[in-house]
Amino acid sequence: MQIDLSHPDFQAAIPIMKEIEAAGFEAYFVGGAVRDAILGLPIHDVDIASSAYPQEIKQIFPKTVDTGIQHGTVMVLRHGQGYEVTTFRTESGYQDFRRPDHVTFVRSLEEDLKRRDFTVNALAVRHDGTVIDLFGGLADLTSQTLRAVGDPHARFHEDALRMMRAVRFESQLGFHVAPATQAAIQANAPLLAKISVERVAAEFTRLMLGQWRNAGLATFLATALSAHVPVLAAHPAAMQRLAALPATPIEEPAVAWTLVAALTQAPVRQLMTAWKQANALADVTQRATALLPVLPIPDPWQLYQAGEAAVRVAVAAAQYLTPAVSQAGVTAAYAALPIHTKHELAITGATLMQHGFTPGPKLGQMLGHLEQAVVMGDLPNTPAALLAAAQG
Ligand code: ATP
Ligand code: MG
């Protein structure tokens, strides 16, 4: 079969592949871009696999960067663009159920495709559009099936993260997991505990943002992968509710985590720390989760304390939790607050000191009172009114 490589990202890389071939080696497009192009989805990061060893790639091209040379990846620089070329490789070892102990560079495309996770991710395409399909990936694309390449038990034993990738792809692509592959996930789910929580979290977040989230979550639960991840393992009933929320896609990670926090009722900091999430994400999730119970009619001070991002996230999350309740007024109410940060307060500590206040905790408390009174609409935000109130 031939596929259409007219997408500019493929076109830009084709001269690189031709040069590799001219030097006597093979080069193919591989990975997600091939899968997504055949599905007619938008493509990102075009990966090139080659029989040339990293040193050979570096001899062919004058400008390269060793982006991942120990794994066989060299970036070829051309016209200000970078093209990642990865040497065909096999992996062995996997003594710890994650990452291979050794990667071995090989000259055989088949060996390289064999170590890939799912058949739909194990297609290769030559620069003329010819598809090399050694594992039935095209048929699985047509039937929308995620099927492990080779023996699924062995593959999940080698690298347990692949089990999370299966449910993530299910959610992203709307494919179903082949029965034998799903059975192997179920049998090997406890191995997920061997994988670093950051990598599991990255896949879980992508699952939560997928268009077929509820299908991905259903498999995540049915295979008991959910029983081997932080916090969620202890909340199976909440996870069932999570998988049954309205199907509308979730647009940002903070909304996903807010829904998880609201349903599990796990302390947000604990949840986010257990999943090793960034502080900024944890912070907005915490604020949004705190705001949820008072929606859709928070008082102005509650809105102000949440801040713009958490208001947006909480409003989005509420639409899943209480879809019948309109949140229409909440964003407008936030916008209409007299001030949005304490820097907008019409008086500062320095001004108060000029009028006889002494520095110290009392001054801070006074500013806090004024801030709250302005936010609540009890005082106009003018220097005169605030000074008068402070002196009152
Ligand atoms: P996307 O980039 O859209 O998330 P992708 O399929 O390109 O999807 P990547 O993580 O970019 O996923 O990996 C590129 C390719 O490398 C995959 O298509 C697959 O062939 C292979 N691959 C990635 N991770 C694994 C893994 N854990 N086990 C086996 N093969 C893998
Ligand atoms: Mg990719």
pLDDT digit string, tens, across residues 265-324: 999 999 999 999 999 999 999 999 999 999 999 999 999 999 999 999 999 999 999 999
Residue 32 CA: which ligand 1 atom is closest?
A: 7
Residue 47 CA: which ligand 1 atom is closest?
A: 14
| Tens of pLDDT, residues 39-62 | 999 998 999 999 999 999 999 999
The answer to whether residues 371 and 345 touch, using CB atoms and an 8 Å cutoff, is: yes
Ligand 1, pocket-test mutation among 87, 117, 185, most atoms within 8 A of CB: 117
| Tens of pLDDT, residues 171-213 | 999 999 999 999 999 999 999 999 999 999 999 999 999 999 9
What's the confidence (pLDDT) of residue 96?
65
Place 76 in a pLDDT band, splitting at 50, 70 and 90. very high
pLDDT exceeds 70 at position 101: no
**Domain 342-391 CATH assignment equals 1.10.246:** yes
Ligand 1 residue neighbourhood (C-beta within 6 Å): 31-32, 47, 116-117, 121-122, 159, 161-162
Ligand 1, pocket-test mutation among 121, 156, 194, most atoms within 8 A of CB: 121
What's the confidence (pLDDT) of residue 92?
73
Q: Which amino acid is at 218?
A: A
Nearest to 321 by CA among 271, 266, 256, 267: 256
Strand partners, 81: 78
CATH architecture label of 1-143: 2-Layer Sandwich (3.30)
| Residues 6+ positions from 378 with CB-CB distance below 8 Å | none
What's the confidence (pLDDT) of residue 94?
60
What's the confidence (pLDDT) of residue 91?
82
Rounded to an integer, what distance in angstroms lies between the CA atom of residue 198 and that of residue 273?
11
pLDDT exceeds 70 at position 33: yes
pLDDT exceeds 90 at position 87: yes
The answer to whether residues 311 and 331 touch, using CB atoms and an 8 Å cutoff, is: yes
Ligand 1, pocket-test mutation among 29, 36, 94, 116, most atoms within 8 A of CB: 116
Nearest to 55 by CA among 46, 47, 66, 45: 66
Indicate if the alpha-carbon torsion angle 179, 184, 187, 189 is positive or negative: negative
What's the confidence (pLDDT) of residue 263?
98
**Alpha-carbon distances of 141 from 45, 146, 173, rounded to whole Å:** 20, 8, 10
Rounded to an integer, what distance in angstroms lies between the CA atom of residue 323 and that of residue 283?
25
**Average pLDDT value for residue range 64-85:** 94
What's the confidence (pLDDT) of residue 392?
84
Q: Whose CA is nearest to atom 6 of ligand 1?
A: 32
pLDDT exceeds 80 at position 93: no
What's the confidence (pLDDT) of residue 366?
95
**Alpha-carbon distances of 257 from 82, 315, 321, 336, rounded to whole Å:** 34, 14, 13, 27
Rounded to an integer, what distance in angstroms lies between the CA atom of residue 334 and that of residue 216?
35
Average pLDDT, the chain: 96
Q: Whose CA is nearest to atom 17 of ligand 1?
A: 31
Ligand nearest, relative to CA of residue 30: 1
What DSSP assignment string belongs to 15-76? Answer: HHHHHHHHTT--EEEETHHHHHHHHT------EEEESS-HHHHHHH-SSEEEEEGGGTEEEE
| Tens of pLDDT, residues 327-348 | 999 999 999 999 999 999 999 9
Distance 370 CA to ligand 2 centre (A): 52
Where are the domains positioned within the chain? Answer: 1-143, 342-391
Residue 161 CA: which ligand 1 atom is closest?
A: 27
Ligand nearest, relative to CA of residue 34: 1
Name the token pair of 39.
Answer: 């599905």
